[in-house]
Amino acid sequence: MQVKLRVKRFDRERDREPYWAEYEVEAEATDRVLDLLHSVKWYQDGTLSFRRSCGHGICGSDAMLINGRNRLACKVLIKELGKRISVEPLRGFPVVKDLVVDQQAFFRKFESVQPYLVAEEPPPARERRQSPEARERFDDTTKCILCAACTTSCPSFWSNPNYLGPAAIVNAHRFLFDDRDAGQEARLQVLNQSDGVWRCRTIFNCVEACPRGIDITRAIGEVKKALLLRRT
Amino acid sequence: MAELSATGGRERPAGGLELYAWLFMRVSGIALLLLALGHLAIMHLINSVDEINFAFVAARWANPLWRLYDWFLLFLALLHGFNGVRVMVDDYVRSPGLRVVSLVALYSLVLFFLFAGSLVILTFHPLAGS
C-alpha cells in the first residue's frame, strides 16, 4: 500500500526553522515506521537523518514522535497508524538534524543518580547473590532501555529542562530498591533536590509513552515515599 | 556533593523543603476535605443559609472550639492554595523578573489574608457589634 509519510526536518546549517517534508512510500501493512524511514533514506533522499541501531525495540535509539505520540519507530507497525503518518523529533531536546536530537543533558542526569551497583564489600569469588523476592522488588524498572520517550513526553520536563525526568528516576529506582546496593544516601540526595522527584506532578504521560510498559509514575511515587520515610 | 547535581549546573539547596511541601499538600488535602464537608453540612444542610446572620455567627463563635475549626479551615485552605500556585509559578514562569514579581505578589497576598482572617477570628467580640 501507499503511505504518505510526513517528516519534520531541520538542518541547522541550511534551514532557518523546521519544515515538514512529504514522502510517498510503498509499504506493507506489517512494516514498521523504521522501514518507511529506511525506504526514504535509501531510495528517495539520502540526507534524511535519524538514529537507529538494533531495530528490535531493545537499544532505545529510535524513539520519536509518531502521529503525536512518543514511540519506537522499530516497534510500531503501519497498520496501527493508517496511511498518513507523521514523524517528529522527540520534544524538549535540541534538534541536531532532522530526527536526531541532542541527548547529552539527558545522559548527564542519568549518570547523576549513579545508575550502577554501589557496593561496600569487595566482590565475592562468584556473583553477588540475591533472593528472587528481593529481585522482584525492582523488576519493573530493570526494563528501561533509555530511549527517552518518557522524559520527552513529560510536561514538567518541557516547562523545566532542569527537571531530572522520569528516565533518570526509573534508573535510580532500579538501584535504590536493590538490597545489595549501598549507594542509597547519595542517590536520595540527588532525587530530593527541588529539580528531583518533586517536579513530578503525576501526569502519567511517561507511563503512556514507555515502549517497555514500565509503570513509571508508580516508581516515582515509591521514590517519593522512600524519601518521606527516611526524613520524617 | 556538588558533583551530584542533577542538572550538571549550580546545585540548588536541597534542604528537603519540597519534600515537606509535598507532604503538606497531601495531609492538608485530606484535612480540608473533612473540614470543608463539615463546614458545608453546618452552613447549608443543618442550617438554612437564610438563617445565618450575625447572631448565628456570634453564638457559634462563643465556643472557642468553633473558632479553632474555622481558623484551621482558613489556614489550611490558604496555605494549600498558596502552595499550589507557588508550584505553578515554579513550573511555568521562566523569566526571572516575572518570577520575582509573581512570587512577591503571591506571598504578600497570602500573608495579608492570613493576617486579616486571623485578626477577625481571634479578636471577634460579639458584644461590640450589638
- pTM (2 decimals)? 0.88
Q: What's the CA gap between B109 and B78, in Å, rounded?
A: 10
Binary contact (A189, B4; C-beta < 8 A): yes
| Position with higher pLDDT, B126 vs B28 | B28
Mutation for A interface: B3, B83, B91, B95, most A CBs within 10 A? B91
Q: Which band of pLDDT confidence, cut at 50, 70 and 90, is reported for residue B12?
A: low
**Which domains does chain A carry?**
2-101 (3.10.20.30), 104-231 (1.10.1060.10)
Segment B4-21 mean pLDDT: 63
Closest C-alpha to A75, from A214, A206, A210: A210
In angstroms, the separation between the Cα of residue A231 and the nearest Cα of chain B is: 8
pLDDT digits (tens, 9 = 90+) for A142-179: 999 999 999 999 999 999 999 999 999 999 999 999 99
| Residue A86 backbone zone (phi > 0: left; psi -120 to 50: alpha; other: beta) | beta
Q: Which band of pLDDT confidence, cut at 50, 70 and 90, is reported for residue A231?
A: low
Binary contact (B11, A193; C-beta < 8 A): yes
Question: Is A128's pLDDT higher than 70?
Answer: yes
Q: What's the CA gap between A93 and A104, in Å, rounded?
A: 9
Q: Which band of pLDDT confidence, cut at 50, 70 and 90, is reported for residue B128?
A: low
CA A178-A199-A148 angle, to 5 degrees, is: 65
Binary contact (A159, B92; C-beta < 8 A): yes
Alpha helix segments (H runs only) across chain B: 17-40, 54-61, 64-92, 96-123, 126-129
Q: What is the pLDDT of residue A215?
A: 98
Q: What's the CA gap between B16 and A188, in Å, rounded?
A: 11
pLDDT digits (tens, 9 = 90+) for A68-77: 999 999 999 9
**Which domains does chain B carry?**
14-129 (1.20.1300.10)
Chain B residue at shortest CA distance from A165:
B6
Using the structure block, give the residue that is written with the C-alpha cell 520575582: B100
| Residue A129 backbone zone (phi > 0: left; psi -120 to 50: alpha; other: beta) | beta
Q: What's the CA gap between A176 and A169, in Å, rounded?
A: 10
